Amino acid sequence: MSNVQSDVDKSPASDGPFQGPHWSPLQHIDKLELGSHTLDSLDELLAEVSVMSIPVAMRAEILSSGLNVALHRWPKVTVEPLNLPKSPGMLPTWKPTRQKITTFGLQFPEGISLLAKSKVDENKDSKTSEISPLGGPAMEIMPDYQPPTVASLVDSLAEPPKKKQITRIKPPDDALSIEERLFYLLQPPLQSWLAGQEMIMPFEPFSYQYEGIGWLFSKSSALLADEMGLGKTMQTITAIRLLIRSGQARRILLVCPKPLLPNWQREFQTWAEELPFVVVEGDGERRKLTWTMPGVPVLIVNYESMVRDFAAFAEGEFPKFDLIVLDEAQRIKNRTSRTAVTARALPRRRSWALTGTPIENRPEELGALYEFLEVVPPNATPDLRQLQALAKQFILRRTKNLVMKDMPPRLDRDAYLELLPSQKTAYDMAEKEGVVQLNDMGDSITVQHVFELVLRLKQITNFDPLTGESAKLDRLEADMEEIASSGGKAILFSQWTKVIDWLAKPMAKYGALVYHGGVPTKQREPILTRFKEDPNAHILLMSYGTGAVGLNLQFAGYVFLFDRWWNPAVEDQAINRAHRIGCKSQVIVTRFISKDTIEERIDKVLTEKRELFAAILGDGDDTNVSLSMNAAEIFGLFDLKARHGKGTRAIGPKPAA
């Protein structure tokens, strides 16, 4: 320790500011060895510690070192050695510790695992009963499966492999809890789930069916409204299987109209052969026993039994279900009916409704279905905008046009035809007389009376009963000439067998064949075979009633609707005989509509209804199935008025709200 003295007057700092840095450059510090006496004078010391004042801070003549230049005495400087380490080093103060991690977990409920029936016992083809080496049963081979040829295999090697389609289950919009959302997100893709390892699928579903299955699986409230024939039954049964497998449901009730009971039993056997089901039937005691029978995953009951048996149970004693499915759910469209009230009262966790006709007449009918689905309050009457919003969330509806994109197009063309003169005279006279008669009947008029007039007028639009003149026949002959010359085949539909028989004669030159209810059943199949195989048979004349359902006539490229059916769904069914899976080329559909007649008025009403329902159920839905005309609409085809005092008043039921 030492004291160093210097002459303060000689400090350069006293010469004024800005004469040098107020800090010591590093090279100068090298000279200043702490703890030794290497500084020669106070000048040097001052030069080192404070050679100038800081421009602002030093105006009071205080040096940056803290020395006050006003003091004319020697400052005391004390130097103390510090015990610094001789070489650089680190202290081992850090060691890895395992961080505590917060976790979140979700256990999946244990589902019921059901064993498929042994196929060996059923003497089925050994190929379909083989169990894969992995222990899981293999998917059944499709009956129409054709083994690939060597050429196709070689071709497939050259082609890039097709991307495997994946259908993932999405969490429903109303699932808010993280557990619920993760439950759905973590389910495997449906394609791998249904690959036949755990569940036998007799046929691979179409992609839209996978989507429907996944949608149903994730929904507590769902209205599956696919167009008839798209597989609502299969999608429902498969979704039920998945719910049972994943532990989401253990007890399910399916309610359907009585005539459909055998159909559902057959479908369950086909699509879920491992799933035990029991039909609630027999006398009251037996039915009660069935309702409470434990260990049965699926109960099937018809609407009538459901209503009767629910009433037979004391309040609160009716068994609870994880899921209730209503087939043909339009049965509950009248929300005050006993069926609807009972259906809503059934204790359940999930509610599904199936129908191809979510709206039959009025959009309000959807309200009754929504009430069953428990997505609107009791007696709610949602407006059009609300119905649309609810439909987006709770209704899944696909039409053939939407899902069968690979099918050749169906080209619809409406042929508006002027009646021929004698037809026109007969028509006007019949209409005038008919309306007068109806008006005279006043309030005793019924829809049946109006209906009879409509039928009479429609017949005249087909042909004049007196002269046999027909604008439609003229047009048909012109079209058929072209079709026959190009080797094409056409199907013609009419609602009257009389019209079909009448057409058979002029159409004989095109090899016309007749197929309607009057043809004995045994003769029907050979007629269809001949139509398919005989190159000279260019037209098949069919009635809607006999020919509209269940026939595969996809080799016909033309369909004529000679007269219009009341319900477009039936017309669509008829058209779908030709326009169906397997058809190779486009199908041209011609609807004959006589101008300024009842046919045009009916067409207008049905078109308006289609448009209204499409607005609710979404674009692309051009095949609302049951759009048949109600009584008010049939009355509305004519301007019917009864005498009322001096004037007149409209008669007939009030149009639906």
Stretch that binds another protein, among 143-151, 195-203, 308-316, 561-569 (CB under 8 A): 195-203
- Check binding of 114 to another protein (CB under 8 A): yes
Q: Which of 14, 32, 62, 111 binds another protein (CB under 8 A)?
A: 111
- In terms of C-beta density within 10 A (0-12 exposed, 13-18 middle, 19 or more buried), how is residue 355 classed? buried
Q: Residue 563 gets which letter from DSSP?
A: S
Instruction: List, in sequence order, every residue forming a beta bridge with 301; answer none if it has no partner.
Output: 255
Q: Is 98 a residue that touches another protein (CB under 8 A)?
A: yes
| The only residue of 66, 105, 259, 377 in contact with another protein, by rule CB under 8 A | 105
For the record, the structure tokens of 171 come out as: 């969490």
Is residue 185 part of the contact set for another protein (CB under 8 A)?
A: yes
Residue among 189, 202, 257, 465 that touches another protein (CB under 8 A): 189
Cα–Cα distance list, 505 to 459, 472, 509 (Å): 18, 15, 8
132 part of the interface to another protein, by CB under 8 A: yes
Min dist CB 193 to another protein, Å, is: 7
Residue 131 within binding range of another protein, rule CB under 8 A = no
Residues whose CB falls within 8 Å of the CB of residue 394, separated by 6 or more in sequence, listed in order: 219, 221, 222, 223, 370, 373, 375
Written as six digits, the tokens of 325 are 């499915």
Q: Which residues contact 609 (CB under 8 A, 6 or more apart)?
A: 624, 627
Which residue type, as a one-letter code, is found at position 144? Answer: D
Task: Specify the stretch interacting with another protein by CB under 8 A; choose among 241-249, 410-418, 428-436, 563-571.
Answer: 241-249
Name the one range near another protein by CB under 8 A: 82-90, 112-120, 573-581, 639-647.
112-120
Identify residues 615-654 at the interface with another protein (CB under 8 A): none
User: In this structure, what token pair is assigned to residue 495?
Assistant: 């609602």
What is the sign of the dihedral through the CA atoms of 312, 313, 315 and 319?
A: negative
Contacts of 9 (CB under 8 A, 6+ apart): 72
At 224, which helix (H) or strand (E)?
strand 221-224
Q: 338-345 and 365-373 are packed helices; what angle lies between their axes, rounded to 10 degrees? A: 20
Beta bridge partners of 559: 491, 589
Q: Which of 78, 103, 336, 379 binds another protein (CB under 8 A)?
A: 103
226-229 long-range contacts, CB within 8 A, separation 24+: 226/356, 226/396, 226/397, 226/398, 226/399, 227/356, 227/397, 227/398, 227/399, 227/400, 227/623, 227/625, 228/356, 228/569, 228/573, 228/625, 229/400, 229/576
Instruction: By CB under 8 A, tell whether 545 contacts another protein.
Output: no
Among 119, 219, 241, 245, binds another protein (CB under 8 A): 245
Nearest distance, CB of residue 8 and another protein, angstroms: 50
- Smallest distance from the beta carbon of 157 to another protein, in angstroms? 8
Nearer Cβ to another protein (194/507): 194
Kindly state whether residue 102 participates in binding another protein, applying the rule CB under 8 A: yes
Q: How many residues bind another protein (CB under 8 A)?
A: 43
**What part of residues 286-305 is at the interface with another protein (CB under 8 A)?**
295
Instruction: State yes or no: residue 99 binds another protein (CB under 8 A).
Output: yes
Residue 135 interacts with another protein (CB under 8 A): yes or no: yes
Choice from 29, 34, 186, 656 touching another protein (CB under 8 A): 186
Contact positions vs another protein (CB under 8 A): 94, 96, 98-99, 101-108, 110-115, 132, 134-136, 160-161, 166, 171, 178, 181-182, 185-189, 192-193, 195, 197-198, 245-247, 295
